[in-house]
Structures are given as structure tokens and as C-alpha cells.
Amino acid sequence: MSISSINPVNGSIIKNYQEHTENAIDQKIDQVHQAWLSYRETDFQTRSRMLLQVSKILNERKDQLAELMALEMGKPLKAGVSEILKCASVCEYYAKNGAEFLADQIISISASKSYVSFQPVGVVLAIMPWNFPFWQVFRFLAPALMAGNGGVLKHSSGVTGCALEIEKVIEDAGFPKDIFKTLICSSKAISTVIENPHIKAVTLTGSTEAGKKVAEQAGKLIKKTVLELGGSDPYIILEDADLEKAAKVCAEARLINNGQSCIAAKRFIVIASVEEKFTQLFKAEMESKKTGDPLKSDTDLGPMARAELRDELHQQVLKSIEQGAECILGGKIPVMDGKHAYYQPTILNNVKKGVLAYDEEIFGPVAAIITAKDTDDAIYIANDTNFGLGAAVFTENAALAEDIARNKLAAGSCFVNEGVKSDAALPFGGINQSGYGRELSMFGIHEFVNIKTVYIK
């Protein structure tokens, strides 16, 4: 069996990869485990030095890796370069802070000495999506390696080239040859991989349905999971918001990665009195983005990652219109040569409860505008979802904004007058159907360690 990476600009096959057999997968996992038995004994200084070397290599190869992303999943070059630089920075973050995060914590009780020690757990399986082919992996991999763990990666099949490049970067940086391996396999093989006794934990970024399956399988085997799943992030625009700034931020937040992001803004909940003005400004911002060849430097939006994903998105738009939403921008598949995956930036207005765009995650460049009577109504609508990844509120009332963000919005991250984003220093993750556990920051590196009590009488 072979796995293909396909160029979403024209549908052409970039490269075919031979799928690993079950025996080959077991062998690779065993290789990582054997490498880990020695690697776990390394000190923080050694790990830090190698992570800094990873950062250096990523900086050197940023243009090459950005081009690979453009070819495999349609990310414009400038966005690809930014992604690689972010991966470099997360390596630097854990190289600098990892030792402090994992230092023994003395607990003074009746013992002559007692403390908490953070020990590596072993081989962690990462199941990662195509939308941020490098960043999704490095935000797991940098803390995992700093903590003394090994890793195996089951990446999305369409970005196999990116997965193999990550493996090469880790090896070129001086890490032990087999401490991190890529598994080239379909999702059908995941269950068997999780069953492997050397796999001690699983981290997944993907759909809620995929998260349920992985959590069920890992749960039966008492293996820890961290799940970063779907989202339908609400952005609340209150009456006193700076509408021009809000419109600009909201458009950027909706179109990040062409809307193919769990934390992209999805639902724009606008107080009725300012809805007309906000919509006018927001539409202008959405229209201003240039769609085109991701290999060209002036392109803002490339194609979606795959034609079938674009087609599913279009059906969601058509269904929402059928249910009463009004399409005021886009909503069409552009006529272009080849089997492309392009879709126009789209705005759906008059989205109400019962309309698909109100309830479901829209994974593409489609914005849903929802009218709220007042602030309380806006907060109710924002929380009227099964998801809970990110949320944002726009208002000039600083005290009100902080109260809403801290106490009222049900999400793992709440931002004020800014789009939701991930940062190495801040914990990242969701609640409800958006998953559990945290990546990044001190909390992320503590997810996959044995928090071990040592008591000396």
C-alpha cells in the first residue's frame, strides 16, 4: 500500500510513500524505546543544547520547509516561514525553561527529606493533523524531548514529506538516532500502535470524533491522553468596541491558515446596534485578502488542503443558506483550471439557532455573523456550543472585558481585543468537546512525566 501527498493547487501527486507494515511499525517503536532507555539518563544541559541546535537548523531551513508546506497543503510561503520560526522559538523556550519546570520540588513535612521529582514516562505517540504540519508536532515534541521522553509521529498522510523532514531535523541536531520516528501509515493502524506496550501516552490534535476513538482505545489500556480537538470559537463584539480594529482582527482570526485552524474565529456575535457597521467593515477586510498560488510571495490565501475538504465545506455553506442564513460574500467554488481546492472567503449573515453554521465547526474561510440583543445575550450565545477551545471579546471597557474573559466565557483560552493564538509561555487546550489536557508552558511539559513522590524518613 502507498500513501500519496497531493498538491491542492492542481491535484497532482507530489510523491508516493510506501506504507509501513505492522512489523515495520513495531520495529520502529522498539527502536525508539531502546534509544529512550539511554536518552532518559541525559541531563537537562545536554537536552537543552540539542534543542537549541534544532532551533538553529529550523531557522536555516525555513524557506525550504515553507515551500514543502505550500506544496503539500497549500500554505502561503510567508505563513509557512512564520510557522517554522514559531517552531524554532518553542525549542528555544523549552531549552531555556525546561530545567526549571522539571526541577525537584521540596515539600517540607515530617520526613527528613521529601520532594516531588518529574521523571520521563517513555515513548509518546503523537497523532497530528495537516493544518500546521510543523507547529502541531513541535509544540508536543520540544517539551517531550526536554522531559527525557522519546516520540513516534503518526502524521496526516497528506503531509508525509513534512513528517520525514521533522525526523531529519531532530537527527541532524544531534539527538540520538532513533529517539524520534515517523510512522507512515493510515489511521486504521492507530489502534494497533496504541496497543504497543512501549507506547506510554498519546497526544492528538484533530477532530472531536477522532479524539473520542483515541481516548476510548487508550482508556481501555490505561494510557494517558492529551486531546486538542475541534472548536467553534466565538468572538463577541460589544457596542463600545473599536469596530475598525475589531473588524481587522476578526478577519485575520477567521482567515488564519485559510480558516483551517481549531482556534480560528468561527462565530461572530455582534450586538444588534453595531451589527450593520461591523459587518460592512468586516466584509471589506475579508474581501481585501488575495487568494492565489501559495508559492507566490504576495498571496494571502492559498487553496484548502484537499479538494474533498473544500467540497464538504461548500455543502455546509449551502445547507446553512437553505436553513435561513444569508450569504453576503463568496459562497462559491471558483472556476479554475485543474482539480484545485480553492474556496472564496465567505460571510454568512442572519445565522440563528438551528442553522448549521451556528452549531457545527466550519473548517475553512467561512464566517458566521450572529445577532445578540445585549451583552448577556452575547455571552449566552457564545457558550451555547458543545465546544470550548478559544473565545474573544471586543470592548473598550477594560473591567467588563476582563470579567467576561475570566468568569463568563467557557473556553480554555479567552482573549480581549485580540485574536486567539498559541504562545509557548501560555497553556493551550480546551474543555468540553474541544478536549482536555494542556500543551505548551510549564503545564504542557508536566503532562507526560511521572510526577513522583520521594520520601526519606
Q: Are 235 and 267 in contact (CB under 8 A)?
A: yes
Active site residue 162: no
Rounded CA separation 399/243 (Å): 19
Rounded CA separation 304/381 (Å): 29
Give the bridge partners for 237, in sequence order. Answer: 270, 394
**Helix, strand and coil percent figures for the chain, each rounded to 5:** 45, 20, 35
Helix axes 44-60, 77-101, angle to 10 degrees: 170
SS3 133: coil
**What stretch of H or E contains 178?**
none
Q: Which residues contact 31 (CB under 8 A, 6 or more apart)?
A: 178, 181
Q: Which residues contact 21 (CB under 8 A, 6 or more apart)?
A: none
Torsion of CA 222, 226, 229, 231, to 10 degrees: 130
Active site residue 418: no
Rounded CA separation 335/340 (Å): 9
The residue annotated as part of the active site, out of 72, 83, 92, 228, is 228
Rounded CA separation 342/319 (Å): 19
Closest CA to 358 of 345, 346, 377, 371: 371
Enter the C-alpha cell of residue 222: 490505561
Rounded CA separation 437/431 (Å): 9
SS3 409: coil
φ, ψ at 63 (rounded to 5°): -70, -40
Q: Which residues contact 449 (CB under 8 A, 6 or more apart)?
A: 102, 118, 119, 120, 121, 147, 149
Rounded CA separation 397/49 (Å): 45
**What stretch of H or E contains 399?**
helix 398-403
The residue annotated as part of the active site, out of 92, 262, 360, 414, is 262
Q: Are 364 and 260 in contact (CB under 8 A)?
A: yes
Q: Which residues contact 138 (CB under 8 A, 6 or more apart)?
A: 87, 90, 91, 166
The residues that are catalytic are: 228, 262
